[in-house]
Amino acid sequence: MFINYIENANFEETGFSYTMSLISGKYKMVILYCLMEFQVVRFNELKRYLRTISDKTLSTNLKELEKDRLIVRTEYPQIPPKVEYSLSARGQSLMKILDQLCVWGEENRE
């Protein structure tokens, strides 16, 4: 089915290509999965969960995920500033697919 889908359309115009453009990269799926697991997370918590990510890379990925409406950034007007990240409804709908990737990985791990 997937091959026929690609043969009948320009690959860049497929739903698969669009979805991959939203979650591609080393950290985006991991960030989304962390938000699914922990619900509401602050920047430094995410950094601790991801361990090897730099501040700049995490910040860039969060901005892209927010721009793509997969996450919600909530800023509280206080000192020191407090910012929390959570999945949007759109991001939550993607979790079904990411969860299935995890299931497949567990079932097919060699």
| Residue range 25-62, pLDDT digits in tens | 889 988 998 999 898 999 999 999 888 899 999 999 99
Instruction: Give residue 6's domain range.
Output: 2-108
Instruction: Output the CA–CA distances (angstroms, integers) from residue 66 to 2, 28, 46, 70, 87, in the order listed.
Output: 29, 11, 15, 6, 9
What does the block give as tokens for 41? 């997370």
Paired tokens of 4:
């026929």
Q: Which of the four pLDDT bands, split at 50, 70 and 90, describes residue 74? A: very high
Number of domains in the chain: 1
Q: What is the CATH number of the domain that holds 17?
A: 1.10.10.10
pLDDT recorded at residue 45: 92
- Inform me whether the pLDDT recorded for 92 exceeds 90: yes
Residue 6 scores a pLDDT above 70: no
The DSSP annotation for 24-49 comes to -SSSHHHHHHHHHHHSEEEHHHHHHH
Prediction pTM value = 0.80
CA distances from 98 to 2, 31, 78, 91 (A): 18, 11, 35, 10
Residue 2, pLDDT > 70, answer no
DSSP element (H, E) containing 90: helix 89-108
Q: What is the pLDDT of residue 81?
A: 85
Q: How far is CA 99 from the centre of its chain?
A: 12
